[in-house]
């Protein structure tokens, strides 16, 4: 019974290891999913940033169009917007417009001028006495919802006014806060925002804030319905059934409902109180205006952790198998112990016989080694066994002489004891790889070669046979062919 406790201890250890591995696997999956989640969020953020910069460039082009002429007509603006191919290149934009500043003393003249262009019902909204007015006089495409914005004074509303003043004072593309666009109807109401770029009077200095305030003429701007804008930027990115990422964009760092600009899943039947598995909050800083992006993701646990379940079940099965196998081994060991005791005497006899045979074989090997050594030392040819030494990058750094006979040592002009187990660098105080290229190539490739050369130490001609008995080793046989070579030379 005492031995059986070993099986129970093994079972407990295996269960603990299974739990540890299961938790570790879950953590690895969580980390992998988190990195993938953050990567997707960063990609979405980058797309939004790039699109905002593209809109800013478009508005800058509109501002430059006005800078080229003081009298841009409605038709010229229409042609300009048509040639920019807004809907094709920057889908999701509501329009491209121009808002003009009108001093109070020029208000009636301005209204009459627009009416004379064929807009008999034109007026500036909202009504009231103000020192200056602004009016949306151009907005393309001039159809549908955009007709509702014609004549609207954006400077009369604080959120729009703040963005217009920032654009004017700093000469930048400025985003407004959250607004409800005048283009909205009672259906499909979306949060909105606007981007402004200032238009200054030609010829006036704009180096300081005061100069820019005096030179301001109006603003080129674009209104955006946020759902339409995000769809134009991201398309159907949120169509996956599992692992969907919810994006919420806020106009305020407190992320209150009243500052919510966009919610990618606002129409979904998702439980609002469900805590997301992953959450990533970041910001987009567009010329000082910040959007706060909150990404969240919920996963189906049965799908996400299927690998964890597999590890857990497999671990339990293996633990039980090891447990029953150990019990079987313990029972078998007890039976084997009885058999072993009965065979001990016979095994001892066999062991004695084996020892005698080993002694005889050792003596035979010793005699064989002595014969080989005698033959090796009395070879008529020189013999050397090299090992090519390499570093971790497999660059050759030296060559070591593992074995050599006396005739081989003579070619180094040394005795065998002075050469064996020495490297080329130790023998010659330097190692030049190019001088040993044949030895290195045979050791690396395993392809034997044979060539002739002149030995300057012995003043003889030798034929060199090289082959590779093992990886990174080269065996070299040197045959003295001086007489044969002298005969060839004499002819």
Please give the pLDDT value at position 302: 46
Q: Which of 82, 91, 85 is nearest to 51 (CA)?
A: 91
Mean pLDDT for 246-270 is 83
Residue pLDDT, tens place only, 330-385: 777 777 777 767 777 676 777 667 667 766 775 765 665 565 566 566 777 888 99
- Indicate the Cα dihedral angle 402, 404, 410, 415, nearest 10°: 70
Count how many Cα atoms sit within 13 Å of the Cα of residue 348 in the half-sphere of its side chain.
6
Residue among 140, 134, 295, 293 at smallest CA distance from 226: 293
Evaluate whether 99 touches 235 at the Cβ level (below 8 Å): no
CA 212 to each of CA 102, 131, 166, 167, 200: distance values in angstroms, whole numbers, following the listed order? 16, 18, 11, 10, 7
Query: In this predicted model, what pLDDT tens digit does every residue of 13-46 receive, in sequence order?
Result: 888 888 877 788 777 777 788 888 889 899 999 9
Three-state secondary-structure class, residue 409: helix
Residues 477, 464 contacting (CB under 8 angstroms): yes
Tokens standing for 64? 């430059």
Token reading at 385: 């066994």
- Any alpha helices (H) in 262-379, and if so which ranges? 301-304, 306-377
Half-sphere exposure of 316 (CA within 13 A, CB side): 6
pLDDT of residue 195: 96
Helix, strand and coil content of the chain, in percent to the nearest 5, comes to 50, 25, 25
- Of the pLDDT bands very low, low, confident and very high (cuts 50, 70, 90), residue 300 is low
> pLDDT grade, residue 169 (50/70/90)?
very high
The whole-angstrom separation of Cα 17 and Cα 318 is 11
Taking the alpha carbons at both ends of the chain, their separation in whole angstroms is 95
Burial class (CB in 10 A: 0-12, 13-18, 19+), 438: middle
Q: Picking from 16-20, 170-174, 241-245, 478-482, which range would have the lowest pLDDT averaged per residue?
A: 241-245
pLDDT of 371 reads 58
Overall average pLDDT of the 82-91 stretch: 80
Task: Tell me the two tokens of residue 81.
Answer: 């917007």
| pLDDT one-digit tens code per residue, 188-233 | 889 999 999 999 999 899 999 999 999 999 999 999 999 888 888 8
Listing from the earlier edge strand, what are the strands of the sheet with 245-250? 260-263, 245-250, 289-297, 278-286
Q: Is the pLDDT of residue 124 over 70?
A: yes
Per-residue b/e over 323-356, b at no fewer than 16 CB within 10 Å? beebbeeeeeeeeeeeeeeeeeeeeeeeeeeeee
Round to whole Å and give the CA distance between 292 and 282.
6
Q: Is residue 150 exposed (0-12), middle (13-18) or buried (19+ Cβ within 10 Å)?
A: buried
pLDDT digits (tens, 9 = 90+) for 424-472: 888 888 888 888 888 889 988 989 999 888 877 678 888 888 988 888 8
Angle at 24 between CA 21 and CA 30, to 5 degrees: 145
Q: For the residues 407-436, what does the mean pLDDT come to?
A: 86
- The model's pTM is 0.60
Per residue in 265-285, pLDDT tens?
Answer: 877 655 555 666 788 999 999
Q: What are phi and psi of 453, to 5 degrees?
A: -155, 170
Nearest to 198 by CA among 223, 174, 179: 174
DSSP conformational letter for 120: T
Instruction: Give ∠ CA 258-263-266 in degrees, rounded to 5.
Output: 100
Q: Name the maximum alpha-carbon separation found in the chain.
A: 129
Distances (CA, A) of 222 to 62, 181, 193: 11, 11, 9
Bridge partners, 170 (sequence order): none
Question: Which percentage of the chain shows pLDDT scores above 90?
Answer: 37
Q: Answer whether the bond into residue 433 is a cis peptide, omega within 30°.
A: no
């Amino acid at each position: 019974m005492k031995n059986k406790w070993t099986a129970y201890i093994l079972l407990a250890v295996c269960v603990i290891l299974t739990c540890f591995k299961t938790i570790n696997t879950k953590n690895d999956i969580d980390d992998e999913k988190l990195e993938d989640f953050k990567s997707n969020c960063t990609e979405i953020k980058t797309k939004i940033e790039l699109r905002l910069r593209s809109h800013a460039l478009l508005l800058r082009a509109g501002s430059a169009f006005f800078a080229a002429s003081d009298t841009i007509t409605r038709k010229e603006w229409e042609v300009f917007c048509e040639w920019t191919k807004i809907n094709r290149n920057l889908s999701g934009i509501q329009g491209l417009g121009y808002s003009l500043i009108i001093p109070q003393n020029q208000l009636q003249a301005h209204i009459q001028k627009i009416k004379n262009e064929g807009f008999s019902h034109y007026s500036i909204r909202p009504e009231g006495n103000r020192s200056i007015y602004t009016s949306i006089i151009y907005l393309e495409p001039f159809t549908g919802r955009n007709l509702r914005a014609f004549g609207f004074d954006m400077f009369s509303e604080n959120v729009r006014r703040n963005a217009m003043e920032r654009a004017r004072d700093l000469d930048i593309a400025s985003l407004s806060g959250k607004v409800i666009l005048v283009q909205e109807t009672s259906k499909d109401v979306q949060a909105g925002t606007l981007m402004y770029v200032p238009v200054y009077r030609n010829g006036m200095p704009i180096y300081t804030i005061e100069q820019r305030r005096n030179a301001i003429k109006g603003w080129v701007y674009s209104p955006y319905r946020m759902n339409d804008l995000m769809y134009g930027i991201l398309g159907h990115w949120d169509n996956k059934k599992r692992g969907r990422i919810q994006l919420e964009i806020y106009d305020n760092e407190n992320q209150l409902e009243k500052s919510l600009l966009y919610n990618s899943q606002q129409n979904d039947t998702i439980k609002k109180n469900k805590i997301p598995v992953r959450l990533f909050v970041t910001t987009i800083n567009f010329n000082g205006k910040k959007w706060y992006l909150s990404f969240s993701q919920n996963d189906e646990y049965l799908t996400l952790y299927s690998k964890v379940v597999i590890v857990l079940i497999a671990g339990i099965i293996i633990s039980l198998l090891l447990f029953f196998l150990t019990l079987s081994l313990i029972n078998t060991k007890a039976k084997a112990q009885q058999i072993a005791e009965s065979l001990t005497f016979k095994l001892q006899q066999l062991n004695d016989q084996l020892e005698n045979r080993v002694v005889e074989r050792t003596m035979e090997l010793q005699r064989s080694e002595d014969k080989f050594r005698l033959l090796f030392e009395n070879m008529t040819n020189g013999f050397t066994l090299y090992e090519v030494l390499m570093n971790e990058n497999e660059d050759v750094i030296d060559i070591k002489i593992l074995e050599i006979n006396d005739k081989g040592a003579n070619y180094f002009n040394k005795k065998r004891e002075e050469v064996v187990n020495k490297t080329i660098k130790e023998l010659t105080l330097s190692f030049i790889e190019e001088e040993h290229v044949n030895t290195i190539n045979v050791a690396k490739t395993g392809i034997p070669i044979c060539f002739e050369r002149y030995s300057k130490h012995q003043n003889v001609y030798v034929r060199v046979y090289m082959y590779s008995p093992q990886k990174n080793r080269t065996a070299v046989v040197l045959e003295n062919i001086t007489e044969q070579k002298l005969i060839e030379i004499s002819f």
